Amino acid sequence: MRGLATKRLDTLDEAIIAAGLKDGATISFHHHLRNGDRVLNAVLDRLARAGLRGLHLSATSLFPVHAPLVEHIRNGVVDRISTSYISGPVGEAISQGLLPTPVRLTTHGGRARAIESDEAPIDVAFVAACAADEMGNLSGRTGRAPCGTLGYPMVDVEHAAKVVAVTDTLVPYPLCPIDIAQDKVDYVVKIDAIGDPGGIVSGATRPAADPQSLAIAANTAAVISASGLLVDGFAFQTGAGGISLATAEAVGREMAARGVTGSFACGGITGFHVDMLEAGLFRSLLDVQCFDLKAVASFAHNPNHMAMSAAMYAGPHVGGAVVDRLSAVVLGAAEVDLDFNVNVTTRSGGGIIGGSGGHADAAQGASLTLVTTRLTAAGWAKIVPKVTTLTTPGSSVDVVVTEAGVAVNPRRVDLIERFKSTDLRILSIEDIAQDARRLASKPTPDRPVGPIVAVSQYRDGSIIDEIRATAPP
């Protein structure tokens, strides 16, 4: 009797050996488990103990939970990082110059492009799988801490030299339904827990309710309403923040009133988007990552709630990604400047607090790109002469919406003309910047001048800005 094939290994250590990991290798991780992720820390701990050095960490995003990475950088286990987003202690440490080489801050679509074009090859991709069978079929729908779609590792598993799936829930073969198929996976390792369910998804995503946010949301919805785009087939992306959701709520009311059926909502998906799908406001959801449990449940059961890979979502190299079909996208900002450039990467005055994620991708793709921002935050002006860090070029930002009014990019003469006959409060970006400066209690800080600690890489691969250390290393 021939033995049954299996890809299961007993420990991460065995997988590290089987995958042939060597000093200097590139290892990749995804962030569907967000601030509840335990897989990146567990793997790096074993790599450090195995004595590996000089690794290149390619992670779709890094969160506060990944604080132990600081020690691995200090010890030389990791000396290069590529990622689309960093928040928490890792960002702080890098901002102070801990990493010997500048972090490459990509966009979600740009990361997919770099991987698929072999510009950024991956030696071993580690996939946190909510459930798996021993042949490597993976699911994000079931298990102890379901996270929904697996849009980011879908790219990595197709291109990595080796793929290690890490799960806490092994199911009998074959797992069903399959989100990532066994022919893309080399090894399967079971650990005690891949994540902390409390950190993986926010309990509930809610629209903002404070007057300032509601004013911004109302202005944003009014711009969309007046744009001519709010017709059957409307395609929409918003973030999961309070202003975005309040905007979506207002847009949804307008769609219902006009009897408009949208084609899709996309991006990270929340229960709020699920409600819009179920209310018939959109025909489908295209979901690269679920942001809450309602979205996870919807993805598991509703065939109109579809997964998409990061390449399909935002790749600038696929001849037309989902973002290229967006009618409108509503994006946030840490800073906006007089050229409509947006910074979502650093604080004013420096210090990494985020990164593009899909910001620059959706901005370039959408027919109408709206950036919402309060005039000030914590005493700082958010509309500034020049952004501290360029994340998304102003050439792909059409409208900036604040509680004080709306500024239209002068390049969009069509919109300026169209909005003349509305009661939108249209201001120049300079006027809005002046309002912000007037309201601010602190002066806008200068750009830091320390050594370069990171570069801002646009979706096409070009370096569009550098991030400098906030304090000497």
CA 239 to chain CA mean position, Å: 9
Shortest separation between residue 395's beta carbon and its own copies, angstroms: 11
Residue 81 — φ and ψ, nearest 5°?
A: -135, 135
Could you tell me the smallest distance in angstroms from the CB atom of residue 371 to its own copies?
16
Q: Which of 78, 135, 208, 400 binds its own copies (CB under 8 A)?
A: 135
Task: Please tell me whether residue 280 binds its own copies under the rule CB under 8 A.
Answer: no
- Amino acid found at 40: L
Q: Which of 303, 441, 449, 472 binds its own copies (CB under 8 A)?
A: 303
For residue 252, the one-letter residue type is G
- Name the one residue in this structure whose structure tokens are 């102070």: 96
> Any bridge partners for residue 285, and if so which?
265, 305
- Total residues contacting its own copies by CB under 8 A comes to 44
Helix (H, G, I), strand (E, B) or coil at 470: coil
Residue 164 carries which side chain, given as an amino acid letter?
Answer: V
| Angstrom distance (rounded) from CA 14 to CA 164 | 11
C-alpha distances in angstroms, 204 versus 201, 240, 241?
8, 10, 11
From the list 61-69, 91-99, 283-291, 442-450, the region that binds its own copies by CB under 8 A is 283-291
Min CB(112)–its own copies separation in Å: 8
Q: Does 233 bind its own copies (CB under 8 A)?
A: yes
Report d(CA 377, CA 213) in Å as an integer: 12
From CA 204, how far away is CA 77, in angstroms rounded?
A: 37
Residue 452 within binding range of its own copies, rule CB under 8 A = no
Residues 416-435, mask of contacts with its own copies (x by CB under 8 A): --------------------
Q: Which two tokens stand for residue 101?
A: 């080489």
Nearer to its own copies, 219 or 364 (CB): 364
Site string for its own copies, 308-327 (x = CB under 8 A): xx-xx--x--xxxxx-xx--
CB of 136 to its own copies, least distance (A): 7
Q: Are 137 and 175 in contact (CB under 8 A)?
A: yes
Nearer to its own copies, 309 or 346 (CB): 309
Do 287 and 308 touch, CB atoms closer than 8 A? yes
As beta bridge partners, residue 78 has 55
Least distance in angstroms from the C-beta of 47 to its own copies:
22
Closer by beta carbon to its own copies, 417 or else 430? 417
- Determine if 158 is a binding residue for its own copies (CB under 8 A): yes
Pick the binder of its own copies from 152, 264, 291, 458 (CB under 8 A): 264
Pairing of strands 342-343, 335-337: antiparallel
Contact footprint for its own copies (CB under 8 A): 1-2, 4-7, 135-136, 158, 172-174, 176-178, 181-183, 186, 228, 233, 263-264, 283-284, 286, 303-304, 306, 308-309, 311-312, 315, 318-322, 324-325, 365, 367, 414
